[in-house]
């Protein structure tokens, strides 16, 4: 009979009419690594946020260490020994490492003794082989270091159960391995880990058992030892057989569409983010940009699309040097841009769908004449775009923010592809989408390539890159580490390059 450190029974959580979790049962054994698997929007984070006390209320019973508890604030969760590392780190960049560590501790005296805390923190770091200078500001740390700080922060609070929400998304393959080592060290010491992920091979590699969530309900809880392959997990997650591979036609190269030469770009803080990049892109191919977030991809794309100025170097699109052109003029060179964050850049949430669909082309003859918008014609066009790209909505007068994430992305993709671009720049096109929507968007991108469009695709999902790209350009710290042909592309080849290791 296994000893359960955590039992969540019949948990139901609703947000207005939306049911995020329904009758969910989760049993976690002491000392195991328990995976929580599910697509985006399946309710993994909601369930864990319930456990961590981020909501005022939920239905159902939670037993921790055998006792019935009702956790409605994080202070309570922490006191019980629950620690959580959120997908978006809960660190305050302008404060020092040690200030972040002690923040909110109930043991704090009114006048802080940071020196004593720093000593204790350093010892803890030594124990787990991840020392961090306690007096640095958090904004000076790398993403990997920040994640280690988050884990140490939880351990400093004597966490017995550690929840890691999609921890590998921001790491290189090498860093992922050392994270896994640490997870094993922790469980050997008697800690328990809940590992939230949608990456099947990672779960197969590290976890003992796995609970699969689908549309807010538990689909199954399985022993990983008894799972025969990742296909089986995938079917559980999606609820039907899924095809994990797509087939692609051979490349048929057209003319040169994008030429980047010795490009250097600074980031917001004035530090070099892109260092001397040179590459070409031809019609009819997909060039994948591979790298962990924050290695200069965003700045590079912003520079190509005119949102950021280059410090030096040259960009030529369709034969036109884009120096001095504004974003509007660059989009006018038959460039389409699916931006990295659709909420931030790609759409205007409080506007209607038809207002969103003219965001880029409102000045064109088609949509306006003499400064006046042609709403009737816009409505007709919008109806047809929505239909052909399968955006699910009550009508074109719905506000964009009311659509689901997948439909919002289809809206953006539909708007950008409808312009029949020569160069398509797609940044994290499938981020935050479920498998159905992801497949649809990927298929649209491949179709563009087959039609002869040049596609520049930035992604952090290795599987997506390997599957779709004809060539993969790996960036690390703003530099090109190498360009890998489709036939050579594999995790083993890309991993070291992503970590900045060139042989």
Q: What residue has token string 């609970």? A: 211
How many residues are listed for the chain in this entry? 503
Distance CA 100, CA 118 (A): 11
Query: Strands 423-427, 82-85: parallel, antiparallel or unpaired by DSSP?
Result: unpaired
Q: What residue has token string 């698997």? A: 37
**Exactly one of 1, 18, 111, 225 binds another protein (CB under 8 A); which one?**
111
Residue 405 sits in the site that holds another protein (CB under 8 A): no
Residue 329 sits in the site that holds another protein (CB under 8 A): yes
Task: Find the part of the chain contacting another protein (CB under 8 A) among 83-91, 185-193, 245-253, 453-461.
Answer: 83-91
**Exactly one of 19, 224, 373, 493 binds another protein (CB under 8 A); which one?**
373
For residues 326-356, b (16+ Cβ closer than 10 Å) or e, as one string? eeeebbebbbbbbbbebeeebbeeeebbbbb
Task: Find the part of the chain contacting another protein (CB under 8 A) among 165-173, 212-220, 262-270, 338-346.
Answer: 338-346
Nearer to another protein, 173 or 332 (CB): 332
**Exactly one of 25, 74, 122, 276 binds another protein (CB under 8 A); which one?**
74
Distance CA 303, CA 305 (A): 5
Nearer to another protein, 279 or 367 (CB): 367
**Exactly one of 80, 84, 161, 310 binds another protein (CB under 8 A); which one?**
84
**What torsion, rounded to 10 degrees, do the Cα atoms 200, 206, 212, 213 define?**
-80
Phi, psi of 278 (to 5 degrees): -135, 125
Nearer to another protein, 157 or 449 (CB): 157
Residues in binding contact with another protein, number by CB under 8 A: 60
**Exactly one of 90, 116, 242, 244 binds another protein (CB under 8 A); which one?**
90
User: Shortest distance, CB of residue 230 to another protein, whole angstroms?
Assistant: 32
Q: Which of residues 298-317 bind another protein (CB under 8 A)?
A: 305-307
Nearer to another protein, 75 or 502 (CB): 75
Nearest CA to 63 among 105, 8, 17? 8
Residue 160 sits in the site that holds another protein (CB under 8 A): no
Per-residue x/- mask for another protein, residues 342 to 371, rule CB under 8 A? Answer: --xxxxxxxx---x--xxx-xx----x--x
E strands within 291-364? 310-317, 320-321, 335-338
Residue 327 sits in the site that holds another protein (CB under 8 A): yes
**What torsion, rounded to 10 degrees, do the Cα atoms 278, 412, 42, 438 define?**
-50
Is residue 63 within 8 A of residue 51, CB to CB? The reply is no
Task: Find the part of the chain contacting another protein (CB under 8 A) among 51-59, 257-265, 482-490, 494-502.
Answer: 51-59
Q: Which residues contact 427 (CB under 8 A, 6 or more apart)?
A: 297, 298, 301, 337, 338, 339, 340, 457, 458
Residue 78 sits in the site that holds another protein (CB under 8 A): yes
Site residues, another protein (CB under 8 A)? 15, 52, 54-56, 73-76, 78, 84, 86, 90-95, 99, 102-106, 108-112, 305-307, 326-332, 337, 339, 344-351, 355, 358-360, 362-363, 368, 371-373, 375
């Amino acid at each position: 009979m296994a000893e359960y450190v955590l039992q969540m029974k019949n948990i139901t959580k609703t947000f207005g009419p939306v049911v995020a979790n329904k009758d969910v049962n989760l049993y976690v054994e002491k000392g195991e690594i328990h995976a929580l698997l599910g697509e985006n929007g399946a309710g993994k984070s909601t369930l864990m946020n319930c456990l961590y006390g981020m909501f005022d209320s939920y239905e159902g019973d939670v037993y921790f260490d055998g006792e019935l508890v009702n956790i409605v604030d994080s202070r309570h969760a922490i006191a019980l020994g629950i620690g959580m590392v959120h997908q978006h780190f809960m660190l305050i960049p302008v404060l020092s490492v040690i200030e972040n560590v002690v923040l909110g501790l109930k043991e704090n005296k009114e006048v802080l003794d940071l020196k004593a805390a720093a000593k204790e923190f350093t010892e803890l770091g030594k124990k787990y082989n991840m020392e961090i200078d306690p007096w640095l500001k958090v904004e000076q740390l790398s993403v990997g270091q920040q994640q280690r700080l988050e884990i140490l922060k939880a351990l400093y609070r004597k966490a017995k159960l550690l929840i890691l929400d999609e921890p590998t998304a921001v790491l290189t393959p090498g860093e992922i391995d050392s994270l896994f080592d640490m997870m094993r060290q922790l469980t050997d010491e008697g800690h328990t880990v809940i590992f939230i992920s949608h990456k099947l091979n990672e779960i197969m590699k590290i976890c003992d058992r796995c609970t699969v969530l689908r549309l807010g309900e538990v689909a199954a809880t399985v022993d990983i030892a008894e799972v025969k392959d990742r296909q089986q997990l995938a079917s559980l997650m999606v609820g039907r057989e899924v095809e994990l591979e797509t087939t692609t036609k051979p490349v048929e190269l057209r003319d040169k569409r994008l030429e980047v030469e010795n490009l250097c770009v600074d980031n917001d803080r004035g530090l070099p983010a892109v260092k001397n990049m040179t590459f070409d892109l031809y019609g009819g191919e997909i060039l994948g940009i591979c790298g962990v977030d924050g290695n200069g991809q965003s700045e590079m794309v912003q520079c190509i699309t005119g949102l950021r100025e280059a410090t030096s170097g040259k960009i030529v699109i369709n034969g036109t040097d884009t120096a001095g052109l504004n974003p509007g003029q660059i989009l006018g060179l038959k460039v389409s841009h699916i931006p990295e964050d659709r909420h931030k850049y790609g759409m205007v949430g409080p506007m209607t769908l038809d207002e969103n669909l003219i965001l880029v082309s409102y000045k064109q003859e088609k949509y306006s004449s003499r400064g006046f918008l042609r709403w009737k014609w816009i409505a007709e066009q919008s109806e047809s775009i929505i239909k052909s790209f399968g955006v699910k909505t009550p009508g074109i007068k719905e506000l964009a923010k009311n659509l689901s994430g997948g439909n919002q992305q289809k809206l953006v993709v539909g708007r950008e592809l409808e312009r029949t671009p020569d160069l398509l720049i797609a940044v994290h096109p499938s981020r935050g989408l479920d498998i159905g929507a992801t497949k649809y968007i990927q298929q649209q991108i491949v179709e563009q390539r087959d039609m002869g469009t040049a596609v520049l695709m930035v992604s952090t999902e290795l599987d997506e890159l390997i599957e779709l790209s004809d060539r993969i350009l790996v960036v690390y710290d703003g530099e090109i580490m190498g360009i890998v042909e489709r036939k050579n592309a594999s995790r083993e080849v890309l991993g070291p390059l992503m970590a900045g290791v060139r042989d």
